[in-house]
Chains A and B, each alone.
Chain A
């Protein structure tokens, strides 16, 4: 056992002599073994990961799995969730670092810029990371990681998952932070063209370094099943969090209008949130208890079982970067009606979705049309819709395109400190630029201090679970991995 492990690690031993001597900090980190084999050692950083549930979390997980399948090494860094801290392994040797960083607000860590440096440096050095991939602009840890990675001389990629305004205070502050962290990020990924436009404007970026890679759904999870439908009536399904952003007030306006016109119409609403009270009031006022069913919070695995019960999927969002829900609805073979906001018009071809303006009357018109189509039997069969959607968005495709982004980012030079400071000053304005330059200098000095206290060469090189020379499939982990997991 000892022999095998020895062989596995020596294969990719960092050889400082063959590394380009561009910056002193990057010497040991640039691992030639990875660059020669065209494989990357990727660290995904975000505040949001399992056990928290949502779009960003599943995006990171699915993307990582597909990249591992392609032979890259992937580790994930996030903050500790309650009892879940330390190092964990998920399927196929996906390694997750739950770092003990203090959570401030809404599962996001504090942005002090410095307190996360020792641990993140440790992760980057011991895993011999070549690309740092940060996710979500809501995540302070992602911003920190981009900043520290640049200080350490690593290439960075950022994925933005949401649309932002420009007017309120929190947006103004986040946008300023985003400008500073993205101004020397090598490449940025957005989930739709609308999101790209938004990000370019918010962070004052060159549009050439922003790519669009949409999200994906697992088509095998969302298969149609017409036998679950009750064909004596028409069911409209809504699955979303019940919050203002998702247009629940509009939904509250639509329900009484349509229910009065069509006696065989019923609503099935899944999800939980502060706007639930609006729907309950409507149900009470118009005596629609038998026709509007509120299911409450749904687990991700139960979503499909709810979707297949309906004929029409309704999405009333007021803002959306890329709507996963309508793809899931269409994949289950439902007719989709949605508001025309944000990136939604890009998501599905016109024959699969009916788009309306975000007003009660427009959505009612759209729904009427679809209901008429459904009654006349002209609507395409669920199986036909599923076949069409199945090939549109797959995670393998997303991983392939992300791989190209990594290749492109890895070819770019990392700016040395003086050039980086100049860029910060010219990009972020005089005042903010100076502040961020100051922070960058302090960060650099802090890194020097850490390198003196805990030199890189004393840090243990971690055993690769995934990637070239990964130990996951070689039988070693089958015996030991179980115990390592359980020990935390």
Chain B
């Protein structure tokens, strides 16, 4: 069982780690993990909310505001940890079986989906307009059940940890690696 770990940055410049594990010649796992929730940022957000609440309290003299602020920070933090903050994303490739995508949130919640080989048409690097930028991303093309040559859905891989390509580094080391690795596995 070989394991390699490399460091990259995502499209916003945040550091992410990629590790790939070879369980057997027919089974590989890629994990992209992002940095842990930093204590400094959590404290900064809490103190901003609380300072605002104190300012409002000073004007209105209503204590409900202070307890409200505590609830807002607590619930906000819970929701962020449970729904937004992704700790790591995993792509498990098993020959002749399919691909399993799973993302683990900071709270420990895990969402998993599995795509069997027969539904996969190809894995490509695609280019698209995303918000106000244009990005490359790795995606799986699914076969259209009606038209054998058509594509029904495009499933992005690692939607959170989208990798950035520096002009200084080689082009998409991770994705080209993935392409090279996945090809013989899936066909």
Seen from chain A, the residues whose Cβ lies within 8 Å of a Cβ on chain B are: 1-2, 5-6, 9-10, 13-14, 28, 85-87, 97, 99-100, 118-119, 122-123, 126, 454-455, 457-463, 480, 483-484, 486-488
Contact = CB atoms under 8 A, between A and B. Distances in A.
A2 B121 CA distance: 21
A128 B12 CA distance: 20
Nearest to B123: A483
B127 A458 contact: no
Interface in B78-127: 121-122, 124-127
A458 B164 contact: yes
B133 A118 contact: yes
B136 interface: yes
Interface stretch (B30-38, B60-68, B175-183): B175-183
B16 interface: no
Interface string B130-164: 00111110010100000000010010000000001
Given A123-B134, A483-B124, A86 B171 contact: no
A2 B172 CA distance: 9
B166 A457 contact: yes
Nearest to A15: B167
A460 B165 contact: yes
A167 to B, nearest CB: 40
Given A457-B166, A484-B127, A126 B151 contact: no
A250 to B, nearest CB: 47
Contacts of A459: 133, 164
Interface of B: 9, 11-13, 121-122, 124-129, 132-136, 139, 141, 151, 154, 164-168, 170-173, 176-177, 179-180
Contact of B124 (A462, A463, A487): A487
B164 A488 contact: no
Contacts of B11: 458, 460
A28 to B, nearest CB: 8
A119 B134 contact: yes
Contacts of B176: 1-2, 5-6
Q: Is the interface of A mostly helix, strand, loop or mixed?
A: mixed
Nearest to B122: A483
Nearest to B150: A486
Contact of B129 (A6, A99, A462): A99
A461 B164 CA distance: 10
Nearest to A80: B129
Contacts of B122: 483
Contacts of A462: 127
Given A87-B134, A460-B164, A487 B129 contact: no
A258 B122 CA distance: 65
The 9 tightest CB contacts between A and B, nearest first, are A2-B176, A118-B132, A460-B165, A87-B127, A6-B170, A458-B13, A483-B124, A122-B134, A9-B171
Contacts of B165: 460-461
Given A461-B165, A483-B124, A486-B151, A1 B180 contact: yes
Contacts of A457: 166-167
A1 B179 contact: yes
Contacts of A100: 129
Most chain B CB neighbours (cut-off 10 Å) among A100, A123, A487: A487
A41 to B, nearest CB: 15
Nearest to A95: B127
B179 A2 contact: yes
A5 B136 CA distance: 15
A205 to B, nearest CB: 33
B141 to A, nearest CB: 6
A455 B167 CA distance: 13
A28 B13 CA distance: 18
Contacts of B164: 458-460
A86 B180 contact: no
A257 B161 CA distance: 75
B12 A458 contact: yes
Nearest to B170: A6
Contact of A487 (B151, B171, B172): B151
Contacts of A87: 127-129, 134
24 contacts: A5-B176, A6-B170, A13-B168, A87-B129, A97-B134, A100-B129, A119-B132, A119-B133, A122-B132, A123-B134, A455-B13, A457-B166, A457-B167, A458-B13, A460-B11, A462-B127, A463-B171, A480-B124, A483-B121, A483-B122, A483-B151, A487-B139, A487-B154, A488-B128
